Amino acid sequence: MLEFSISGDMFAWVILPLLIFFARICDVSLGTLRVIFISKGFRHIAPLIGFFEVIIWLLAIGQVMQNVGNVASYIAYGGGFAAGTYIGMAVEERLSLGNVVIRVITALDAARLAEVLRSHNYGVTIMEATGGSGPVKVLLTISRREDMHEVVHEIQKYQPNAFYTVEEIKSVREGVFPEKKGTFSLNWRDPLGFFRKGK
């Protein structure tokens, strides 16, 4: 009888809260990714993620409701939510999804920077503008988020004192982008292949 009681307490106060904690990590991480995918225009992936997200959530909330008097379950539920939010953002950061527009404003000659970026197959648009202290050059280029650090490195190398901003954009049509590196190829605009020709 004592052994059974210890086993039951172990499940109620350790195993069950851990299961709820990890279930919440999974469903909140998926929810965070779903929202991010929607905001970046990946509308066909979001419903699939939402399907698994809600099933895992139902399993987790069901266990909490069956153990209403178990305080550890509530703590695990809240802790899993917090951890899942953080992990979801970290995963999205690692995936580097989407595109960014990089805007460079400089009072110096920007021809060399534009030449280097174009040699790496980035499209560059240069405009004349007037800043607070006189004429300036404005360079615009769009890159994948995964390539952003390469572009910023070139800016810091050739225009170390230039003012630049990086902004996320929802979608892009056409444009000039470098070839994907490595042997594994994934269509970053359509990772699941919903819009491949012939479908």
Tokens linked to 185? 């190829």
Q: Are residues 78 and 162 in the same domain?
A: no
Please report whether residue 122 resides in a domain. yes
Q: Are residues 60 and 140 in the same domain?
A: no
Average pLDDT, the chain: 83
User: Residue 6 pLDDT > 60, yes or no?
Assistant: no
The pTM assigned to this predicted structure is: 0.65
Write out 63-99 in H/E/C secondary structure. HHHHCCCCHHHHHHHHHHHHHHHHHHHHHHHHHCCCE
pLDDT (mean) for 26-46: 87
Q: Are residues 13 and 89 in the same domain?
A: yes
100 near 166, Cβ under 8 Å? yes
Residue 114 belongs to a domain with what CATH number? 3.30.70.120
Q: What is the spatial order of strands in the sheet that 134-144 belongs to?
A: 125-131, 134-144, 99-106, 163-169
Tokens linked to 170? 């929802």
Q: Are residues 81 and 136 in the same domain?
A: no
pLDDT-based confidence at 57, cuts 50/70/90? very high
pLDDT-based confidence at 10, cuts 50/70/90? confident
Q: Are residues 70 and 16 in the same domain?
A: yes
User: Residue 54 pLDDT > 80, yes or no?
Assistant: yes
70 near 12, Cβ under 8 Å? yes
Please report whether residue 176 resides in a domain. no
Taking residue 196's Cβ as centre, other Cβ atoms within 10 Å add up to 9
pLDDT at 179: 67
Q: Can you tell me the distance from the alpha carbon of 122 to that of 179, in angstroms, rounded to the nearest whole number? A: 10
Q: Is the dihedral of CA 154, 155, 160, 165 positive or negative?
A: negative
User: Residue 185 pLDDT > 70, yes or no?
Assistant: no
Q: Are residues 107 and 90 in the same domain?
A: no
Q: Are residues 56 and 127 in the same domain?
A: no
Single out the residue in 68, 95, 122 at which a domain terminates: 95
In angstroms, the first-to-last Cα distance of the chain is 63
Q: For residue 154, give the nearest of 100, 109, 118, 179 by alpha carbon.
A: 118
Q: Are residues 20 and 91 in the same domain?
A: yes
Per-residue pLDDT reduced to its tens digit, 144-177: 888 899 999 999 999 999 999 999 887 666 666 6
Q: How many domains does the chain have?
A: 2
Q: Are residues 87 and 113 in the same domain?
A: no
Q: Can you tell me the distance from the alpha carbon of 114 to that of 123, in angstroms, rounded to the nearest whole number? A: 9
Pairing of strands 163-169, 125-131: unpaired
Q: Are residues 68 and 124 in the same domain?
A: no
Tokens linked to 160? 């170390």
User: Residue 198 pLDDT > 90, yes or no?
Assistant: no
User: Residue 184 pLDDT > 70, yes or no?
Assistant: no
Q: Give Dmax over CA atoms of the chain in angstroms.
A: 86
pLDDT at 58: 95
Q: Are residues 52 and 104 in the same domain?
A: no
Which domain covers residue 22, as residue numbers? Answer: 2-95
More confident residue, 30 or 1: 30
Q: Are residues 15 and 37 in the same domain?
A: yes
pLDDT at 13: 86
pLDDT (mean) for 47-71: 92
